[in-house]
Structure 1
Amino acid sequence: MDGFWPVPDVLTYLAGDWRTERTVRDLASGDEGVFSGTTAFGRLEDGGLLSHESGIFVWQGVPRPAERTLRFLPGATPGTADVRFSDGRPFHDLDLTSGHHRADHPCAADLYRGDFTVLAANHWRTVWRVGGPAKALLLTTDHTRETPTPGTDEPPIP
C-alpha cells in the first residue's frame, strides 16, 4: 500500500472545499477535455455530506459551465460512505480506510470502474475507466483541499 494515505472516516476527511481538476479522454477518438472548478462537501442533518461540484468544462475547444451534486451518506461500516446521485439512486460505495478503494457502477450497457486514492492529507484522486458499447473514456480527477488541514506536514503536490 505504498503511496496511500489511510483515512479512518471518509466523511470527516471529505468535509470542506476542494479544488477540482479533471481530464476526460475519449479512448476511441483520442479527444480530450478538461474540467476546472471546485467541489464543496457540506454537512447534512443525517451525518452525511452533500457534494456540489461546479466549474468550466472545455471539450473540443468549447468552454461550458458544468456541475453535479452527489450525496455521501454514512456507509454500512463505520468510516465508509454510500454515494448516491442527487435524486437518491445508488452510485457506489466508498471505503478509504486503506487509502484506496475500487468501485463499479453499471450504467445501461456500460461499466464505470472507479479507483479512489488518497495521496496525502489534502489530496485525493479518482480515476474512472468507462467501457462498453456506448463509451470508452478515462476520467482522472485530482482534488486538492482549498484550505490545507493544519498540522499536516506534507510535500507540495506536483
Structure 2
Amino acid sequence: MSEFWPVNDVLAHLAGRWRVERTVRDLASGEEGRFEGTTVFSPLEDGGDGLLHQESGTFVWRGTPRPAERTLRFLPGTSAGTSDVRFADGRPFHDLDLTGGHHVAEHPCVADLYRGEFTVHDQDHWRTVWRVGGPEKDLLLTTDYTRERDRSDADL
C-alpha cells in the first residue's frame, strides 16, 4: 500500500463537508491549543470555477474556548490535480498539487514563513502540517480532515 493517495481532480476530491481536528503547538513555550469544527468546500458564490473553503468551529487556547472561522478560495490550477489557493479577498496563499498525494507549499507572510505539507491518505482522509517560523512565531499546526458522509453515502 502506498503512503500517499494520488488525486486526479483536486476540486472534485475536496468538494463536500469535512470534520476538522487541529492541534496548534507553540514550540517556544510548549503550550498547545486545539481546534475542532468543520470545513465545507462548496461552489463559489459568484458561479466561477473553483471552491469556497469555509471553516468554522471552536478553538481552545489556555483553557478558553473561542469561536473561530476562516474562508479560502480554491481555484483551478494548471491541471485537474492542482489548485491555486487564495485568501478570501483574492490574495495568493499557495499552490497545491495533489497528483502524487503529497505536496509542500510555502507562503511568506511579513517576516514569517509558513511551510505547509499536504498528505492525502485515502478518499476520506487528508492532513496538513504547517510549520510557521519567524521573529514572533514558532508554531506547528497539524490538521486532520475526515470526510463527512450523509446517510445516502454510507454504503459507498
Length-normalised TM-score, structure 2: 0.93
- 1:18: which partner in 2? 18
Q: Give the SS at the match of 1:11.
A: helix
2:33, 2:83 → 1: CA distance? 29
Please, which runs of 5 or more residues in structure 2 have no aligned partner? none
- Aligned with residue 77 of structure 1, among 76, 79, 98: 79
- 2:42: which partner in 1? 42
- Aligned with residue 98 of structure 1, among 90, 97, 100: 100
Please, which runs of 5 or more residues in structure 1 have no aligned partner? 153-158
2:155, 2:53 → 1: CA distance? 25
**Within-5 A mapping of 1:3-152:** 3-44=3-44, 45-147=47-149
2:115, 2:38 → 1: CA distance? 23
Deviations 1:31-64 (A, max 9, x none): 0000000000001222200000000000000000
Structure-2 change in CA distance of 1:117 and 1:151 (3 Å):
farther
Give the root-mean-square deviation of aligned CA atoms: 1.5
* Native 8 Å contact 2:17 2:148 kept in 1: yes
Name the % identity. 71
Deviations 1:109-151 (A, max 9, x none): 1100000000111000000001111100000000000018677
With 22-31 and 76-85 compared, the bigger mean Cα shift is at: 76-85
Instruction: Give the total of aligned pairs.
Output: 152
1:136, 1:76 → 2: CA distance? 33
After TM superposition, give the deviation of residue 78 of structure 1 in Å: 3.1
1:46, 1:101 → 2: CA distance? 25
Structure-2 change in CA distance of 1:3 and 1:151 (3 Å):
farther
Q: Give the SS at the match of 1:97.
A: coil
1:2, 1:104 → 2: CA distance? 25
